[in-house]
Amino acid sequence: MTRFAVASLAIAMLAVPGQAFSQEPIANRFTMEKTESGFVRMDTLTGEMSICREQSGQLVCKLAADERRAFEEALSDLSARVAALEQRLDADAPAALDIPDDAELDRALGVMKKMMRGFFGMAEDLRKEFDLDPDHPAEPLPDRT
């Protein structure tokens, strides 16, 4: 059966020149060959082979042992990378923000009101200082350059 697999792989690679490594989908990507115990399905794009058997009227395909092991190793590696990234994100996340209670907000608003009243009071004093007589506006200030 290994000769059959190698021959099938070689035929598939020769049958689809230039497209074996392209990103475009191939119309007949999989080929099926009958064996003594079922079928062998080959992916003409990647060369992966699966053993298929008929069970309860359906064709059930399983990855070969080497491919399955490679798949599980890749999955394990990716799972470890995801876990490491999640830990890094958790470590880099800012601490929960403390939301001030109503008393703190009232105190802050009181301070801002006092500051604004003082500022507008100063502005009113300056206006009065430069505009002594509302009937006769003050002379314009000379330009300073």
Q: Are residues 40 and 58 in the same domain?
A: yes
Our count of domains for the chain comes to 2
Tens digit of each residue's pLDDT (9 = 90 or more) over 79-111: 999 999 999 888 877 766 678 889 999 999 999
Q: Which residues of 89-125 are buried (b: 16+ CB within 10 A; e: fewer)?
A: eeeeeeeeeeeeeeeeeeeeeeeeeeeeeeeeeeeee
- Residue 103, domain member (yes or no): no
Side-chain half-sphere of 40: how many Cα atoms within 13 Å? 18
d(CA 45, CA 24): 10
pLDDT of amino acid 119: 95
Is 45 domain-assigned?
yes
Reported pTM: 0.31
20 band by pLDDT with thresholds 50, 70 and 90: very low
CA distance 16 to 9: 11
Host domain of residue 21:
2-63
Q: Are residues 11 and 59 in the same domain?
A: yes
Please write the tens of the pLDDT for every residue from 45-76. Answer: 878 888 888 888 888 888 777 777 888 889 99
Question: Within this chain, do residues 15 and 51 fall inside the same structural domain, yes or no?
Answer: yes
Instruction: Indicate whether 87 belongs to any domain.
Output: yes
Assess whether 34 and 53 both reside in one domain: yes
